[in-house]
């Protein structure tokens, strides 16, 4: 169940609007919520967007995605948050859902009323079908966006009708769907505190093993007449598109060993973990980091706070807990003490808005704290790992930084790899006068497929 959100605009126009310093333009709320690419868009034949190129135009033949299922089965529904902006809540009519996997980590089975999923997150839920086909053979998924000032609705169909015939009209959304399949209001944390890893041998490092704490403060600011999201008053990406790093850090590192972007560890330690020269967060292999991501009401729009799904590349972190106000270990201990579950390893978690979140329409004082979340990382894999909010407009607006882990442990590259692959337009690319160069650095294993039929 691939969830995405549709906008009636072309990608480059959306990006240039978010990047524009003279007339900044927000992407806006989605026009449709899609399941596996299917939706009934918020338009009809009289309101088609005629200024879009053909092929992108809304069609009157749209319909909801349909899952055809059988009785007496156990279905694993893999739900993928492949959205641009939207965080969604969904529920299936007449069936129970049991959550058992989050971002690739198996969980103790957890019955849930509704599933809440943000961009970048993945979940698995178990749905058991009745032994015989129910008299009413088609059921609705109700889907809505959450944590936004405007709610957008979607749907999908779950049907036992093997002919997929006329038992349900897939070209409308039932007018009483919000009543028949009522979705609860936004709840801080959802069932995050109830999740436990299925594998009981997996425990997070203890607090006394933590070598360092880093705090990333996310807040909305205005720079050069554009709305931006900065991180602890610094922007590695997104201040302006021309100030973005032009060469990937790993390429810089390998290309110019004498002038490489070597982390300034001592200066970073004295600067809250942020390397003041390179503007990334360096770490050494073997370190165990507590990264607090803390929402603050920025100076825009009377203290604007939103929910952000933070995604860490590299190894998974331990999701230690989430709260409101300013983070403290005492607050964390209190939250963990009352939690039914225990920390799980995963890779995308929501840092909630907390009190005064924008969706409530509340005004809060600029500079006040909102929600926080603690991510505990064991630094095991060298690399330049991006750490970012998974809402794509927020990334463009600057909500992304980098953890440069174990720079001195990066492996040496094969001979001539730098000239061929890391040099812009190197031999591996080719041009009008020569074919792309290819070289085998190692033998691929031979894999037998089936019995050669």
Give the nearest distance from C-beta 306 to Cu ion in angstroms.
6
Is-contact 371 359, C-beta < 8 A? no
Q: Enumerate residues 6+ apart whose C-beta is below 8 A from 161.
A: 68, 137, 138, 167, 168
Residue 221: closest CA among 207, 234, 208: 234
Nearer to Cu ion, 308 or 346 (CB): 308
Question: Contact between 148 and Cu ion (CB under 5 A)?
Answer: no
Nearer to Cu ion, 220 or 278 (CB): 220
How far is 99 from 76, CA to CA, in rounded Å?
A: 10
Looking at residue 197, what DSSP letter applies? B
Q: Which of 389, 392, 396, 402 binds Cu ion (CB under 5 A)?
A: 389
For residue 191, how many other CB atoms are within 10 A of its CB?
19
Nearer to Cu ion, 148 or 308 (CB): 308
How far is 78 from 100, CA to CA, in rounded Å?
A: 10
For the record, the structure tokens of 337 come out as 């003490």
Give the nearest distance from C-beta 310 to Cu ion in angstroms.
8
Q: What is the dihedral of CA 1, 93, 185, 82, to 10 degrees?
A: 10
For the record, the structure tokens of 316 come out as 């998974």
Q: Which of 102, 387, 391, 397 binds Cu ion (CB under 5 A)?
A: 391
Q: How far is CA 182 from the centre of its chain?
A: 25
Nearer to Cu ion, 197 or 298 (CB): 298
Nearer to Cu ion, 204 or 218 (CB): 218
Q: Which of 122, 308, 346, 373 binds Cu ion (CB under 5 A)?
A: 308
Give the nearest distance from C-beta 352 to Cu ion in angstroms.
11
Nearer to Cu ion, 387 or 389 (CB): 389
Give the nearest distance from C-beta 15 to Cu ion in angstroms.
16
Nearer to Cu ion, 40 or 216 (CB): 216
Give the nearest distance from C-beta 307 to Cu ion in angstroms.
8
For residue 262, how many other CB atoms are within 10 A of its CB?
15
Is-contact 256 247, C-beta < 8 A? no
Helices of type H across 181-291:
249-255, 265-269
Q: Which stretch binds Cu ion (CB under 5 A): 10-18, 190-198, 376-384, 389-397?
A: 389-397
Q: Which stretch binds Cu ion (CB under 5 A): 17-25, 252-260, 263-271, 381-389?
A: 381-389
Give the nearest distance from C-beta 187 to Cu ion in angstroms.
19
Give the nearest distance from C-beta 387 to Cu ion in angstroms.
12
Give the nearest distance from C-beta 206 to Cu ion in angstroms.
30
Helices of type H across 307-360:
329-337
Residue 263: closest CA among 243, 287, 242: 287
Angle at 171 between CA 165 and CA 173, to 5 degrees: 115
Nearer to Cu ion, 219 or 275 (CB): 219
Question: Contact between 394 and Cu ion (CB under 5 A)?
Answer: yes
User: CA-CA distances (angstroms) from residue 345 to 110, 323, 334, 382?
Assistant: 16, 18, 20, 19
Residues written for the chain: 453
How many residues interact with Cu ion (rule CB under 5 A)?
4
Nearer to Cu ion, 289 or 391 (CB): 391
Question: Contact between 144 and Cu ion (CB under 5 A)?
Answer: no
Q: Which stretch binds Cu ion (CB under 5 A): 29-37, 100-108, 350-358, 388-396?
A: 388-396
Contact residues toward Cu ion (CB under 5 A) are 308, 389, 391, 394
């Amino acid at each position: 169940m691939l969830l995405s959100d549709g906008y009636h605009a072309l990608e480059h126009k959306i990006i240039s609007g978010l990047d524009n310093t003279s007339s900044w333009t927000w992407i806006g709320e989605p026009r449709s919520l899609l399941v596996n690419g299917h939706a009934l868009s918020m338009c009809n034949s009289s309101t088609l967007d005629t200024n879009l190129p053909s092929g992108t135009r809304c069609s009157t033949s749209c319909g909801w995605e349909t899952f055809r299922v059988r009785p007496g089965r156990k279905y694993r529904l893999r739900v993928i948050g492949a959205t641009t902006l939207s965080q969604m809540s969904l529920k299936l009519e007449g069936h129970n859902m049991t959550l058992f996997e989050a971002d690739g980590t198996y969980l103790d089975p957890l019955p849930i009323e509704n599933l809440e999923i943000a961009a970048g997150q993945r979940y698995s839920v178990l749905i058991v079908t009745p032994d015989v086909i129910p008299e009413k053979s088609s059921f609705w998924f109700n889907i809505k966006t959450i944590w936004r000032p405007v709610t957008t609705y979607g749907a999908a169909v779950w049907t036992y009708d093997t002919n997929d015939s006329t038992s349900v009209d897939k070209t409308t959304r039932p007018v009483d769907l919000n009543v028949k399949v009522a979705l609860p209001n936004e709840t801080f944390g959802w069932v995050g505190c109830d999740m436990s890893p299925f594998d009981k041998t997996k425990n997070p490092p203890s607090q006394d093993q933590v070598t360092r704490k880093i705090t990333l403060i996310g807040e909305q600011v205005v720079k050069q007449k554009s709305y931006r999201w900065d991180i602890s008053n610094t922007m590695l990406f997104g201040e302006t598109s021309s100030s973005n790093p032009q060469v990937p850090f790993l390429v810089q590192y390998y290309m110019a060993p004498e002038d490489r972007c070597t982390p300034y560890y001592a200066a970073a330690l004295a600067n809250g973990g942020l390397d003041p020269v390179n503007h990334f967060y360096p770490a050494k292999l073997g370190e165990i980091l507590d990264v607090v991501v803390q929402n603050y009401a920025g100076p825009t729009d009377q203290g604007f706070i939103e929910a952000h799904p933070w995604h860490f590349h590299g190894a998974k972190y331990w999701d230690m807990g989430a709260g409101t106000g300013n983070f403290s270990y005492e607050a964390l201990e209190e939250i963990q003490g009352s939690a039914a579950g225990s920390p799980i390893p995963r890779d995308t978690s929501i840092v909630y808005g907390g009190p005064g979140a924008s969706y409530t329409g509340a005004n809060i004082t600029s500079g006040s704290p909102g929600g926080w979340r603690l991510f505990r990382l064991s630094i095991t894999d060298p690399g330049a790992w991006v750490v970012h909010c998974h809402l794509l407009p927020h990334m463009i607006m600057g909500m992304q930084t980098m953890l440069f882990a174990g720079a001195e442990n990066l492996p040496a590259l094969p001979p001539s790899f730098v000239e061929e692959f890391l040099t812009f337009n190197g031999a591996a690319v080719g041009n009008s006068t020569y074919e792309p160069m290819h070289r085998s650095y190692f033998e691929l294993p031979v894999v037998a497929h089936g019995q050669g039929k």
